[in-house]
Structure 1
Amino acid sequence: MNTLNKRTLLKTAALSAVALAALSGCGKKEEAAPAAPAAPAAAPASDKLKIAFMYVSPIGDGGWTFQHELGRKAIQDKFGDKVETSFVESVPESADAERVLRDMAAQGNKLVFATSFGYQEFVQKVAADLKDVKFEHATGYKQAANVATYDTKTFEGAYLAGIVAGGMSKTRTVGVVASVPIPEVVRNINSFVLGAQSVDPSIKAKVVWVNEWFNPPKEAEAATSLINGGVDVMYQNTNSPAVLKTAEERGVRAFGKDGDMSAFAPNAHLGSAVIDWSPYYAKVVGDALAGQWQSGAHWWGVKEGAIDLQKIAADVPQDIKDKVEKARAGLKDGSFAVWTGPVKDNTGKERLAAGQVADLKFLTAINFYVAGVEGNVPGTDGK
């Protein structure tokens, strides 16, 4: 929790104690005091909708959390004095998350955004106790009467980046620095490779897992390992620009993810798959203010303006840029889906038949690598 939030908590606690003492004293005096005209009712302290955000990494990560923070600022600007927003950053996916969620509710927040997959069970537990608070959980799959889930189709951004990678790799070997082995991340890895193979079917891919969302030293070490293994274009599913910075130092190319990371590595940067949470956040807050908030699962992508590949490098050939634009247009109008068969895994097993389009159940349960990716997903045998 930042210093300002700590100070605010202390101040609030102190004022509450003073107010309680004053009320107790007044109660005793009123028993003996003669009747007096009723004083005007005190105005409520605030009629604003209080909204809190819980972040898994620092707001300065340049990626995932930074984009959520931009979304928070956007709704504060859009709704002005109708809302009051706050955040707590770098909250581990552990019992600390439950403590922070309960503290947010105790501070009067009635709408809480929990922005990482690992918060799921803590959100469910707290929401069951606090029925008057509405919770929004990013990337999760469990809903309740007062819990909605939401996500961005980051795999669409990964696919667009893959097209560029397929056109730029000279070694025909691309790589991914991956965070945590959950379907969301595996889906992004595969989508990136499918995009690259749409340009060159011979493309191979390597993956190194760091098992954390935000750990710049480990991310840099993983990137170095990929480069040493012959990778010359890298994607990432981690929260810092360490992969890009390593690519810059080693003279290879890479992509930013979630935020625009071009400034961190101007020579290595091939593009950034940027998430814009503000359209979704604006809708949710608007619905809450209007008394129309609803639970459910919400998944926005290129079509809704929630994800796009931005800042494509100037040296990317025009025909590759045209392929990106064609895929982007298809995602926008619904004429193209990334996960359309035939798709085989790296053991040769058919996962989607020719012409078959993956449904939500398939997409949210991917636990295999597509053909061309080395190894197996951690915790599986590839089956």
Structure 2
Amino acid sequence: MKTVFQLGRRAFIGLVAGAALTMAAFGPAAAQEKIKVVGIYTVPIEQQWVSRIHLALNAAKERGDIDYSYSENVSNTDYERVMREYAEQGANLIVGEAFGVEKPSRAVAAEYPDIKFLMGSSLPPVEPNFATFDNFIQEPAYLTGLIAGAKTKSNIIGLVGGYAIPEVNRLMNAFIQGAKETNPDVKFLVTFINSWYDPPKAKEAAFAMIDAGADIMYAERFGVSDAAKERGVLAIGNVIDTSKDYPGTVLASALWHFEPTADKAIAEVKAGSFKAADFGIYSFLGAGGGSIVVDEKLATPESITIAKAKEAEIKAGTLKIEINDAEPKSTK
């Protein structure tokens, strides 16, 4: 049986109520008026991170809140051109990733001050129209670490990431912190494949770690869970729930929900109150931007109890998971 912690469901109910209040505050006209939202992605929409953005914007489209179009697999060298084309076509809100195109994306935004930009970024927002966000799911990553640390038998856990950047590092560090709390003897193997989407490369990196003794793999990238499944070890999912694709393999997953971020930005654009702010806070557990799902058949009962208690503390504000953006290192 797969368990989604109750607190995540309460947060979702709160978001629904908040959306109703937003509609009431803006009035029927504001609620019915559609805005043009564009997504510009450097990877396929199936990729974990982008899939959550795409899912949230599609949900807003299906509600009738926005008109939504997108471009995927846009190269960094072509990103600026695509941004300009959408800007010239009258987009109201452009959503995308600025990590590899910080300078050009900010330059385009400066040229179109009346268009709002909401971009995944490691750098600060810029007035008047360049807002930023990120998947700050270090809290659920920490909770999955608690589950993994209690489960490993070899006391070796492997972690395969895309790039050693803050957005990835903070999740791995939080996971490591949790694993150490339930198992002080656990060691870690860490590697980065220097790609956001290269499943074969991630799979090979995972195989090497499994050969070195890892019996649980932290799957920050696609391909890692495939290796875990083939070798009969367990995996920890990241951003999306892939347990249906890997039954009996995915022990737990830290999930990212972009809906709170997207809905907040859309409401502000409609209300004319959009600011160049950091929307990262809407990825926190307290905002409903993160959650954890656990396979009860695989996890130890004790670790589930511990993780639920820790989640309650995080939600109550009595436990804070520090954001550690330093590059994690292997300890084995």
TM score, norm. by length of structure 1 = 0.74
Partner of 2:331: 374
Q: Deviations over 1:275-304 (max 9, x none)?
A: 111122111101111111111112231111
Q: CA deviation at 1:113?
A: 0.6
| Residue correspondence of structure 1 range 55-134 to structure 2 within 5 A | 55-61=41-47, 63-78=48-63, 80=64, 82-92=65-75, 94-115=76-97, 117-134=99-116
Q: Does 1:285 align with 2:270?
A: no
3-state DSSP of counterpart to 1:296: coil
Select the structure of larger CA radius of gyration.
Answer: 1
**After TM superposition, what 4+ stretches of structure 1 lie above 6 angstroms from structure 2?**
none
Residue identity in the other structure for 2:292: L
Gaps of 5+ in 2: 1-32
CA deviation digits over 1:134-161, x for unaligned, max 9? 1011143231111011123221121111
Check if 1:205 corresponds to 2:205. Answer: no
Aligned to 2:122: 140
Distance in 1 separating the partners of 2:320 and 2:163: 25
Deviations 1:28-72 (A, max 9, x none): xxxxxxxxxxxxxxxxxxx741110112321223x2121111111
State the SS of the aligned residue for 2:100: helix
- The alignment partner of 2:69 has SS state of strand
Other-structure match for 2:257: 276
Aligned counterparts of 1:59 and 1:255: Cα–Cα separation in 2: 21
Q: Return closer, same or farther for 1:164/1:139 CA change in 2, 3 Å cut-off.
A: farther
Residue 374 of structure 1: how far off its partner (Å): 3.0
Letter in 2 for 1:106: E
State the shift of 1:116 in Å: 5.3
User: Structure 2: how far apart are the matches of 1:333 and 1:120?
Assistant: 36
Alpha-carbon distance in structure 1 between the residues aligned to 2:113 and 2:41: 22
Summarize the alignment of residues 253-264 of structure 1 with structure 2, pairs less than 5 Å apart: 253-264=234-245
Check the 8 A contact 1:258/1:273 in 2, yes or no. Answer: yes
Paired-residue identity, %: 30
Q: Which has the higher contact order (CA 8 A, sep 6+)?
A: 2
User: Counterpart of 1:266 in 2: which secondary structure?
Assistant: coil
Instruction: Give 1:353-372 correspondences, 5 Å limit.
Output: 363=323, 366-369=325-328
- Structure 1 CA distance for aligned equivalents of residues 133 and 179 of structure 2: 27
Which secondary structure does the structure 1 equivalent of 2:60 belong to? helix
- Hey, what's the Cα distance between the residues in 2 that align with 1:106 and 1:192? 43
Matches within 5 A, 1:110-259: 110-115=92-97, 117-144=99-126, 145-238=128-221, 240=222, 242-259=223-240
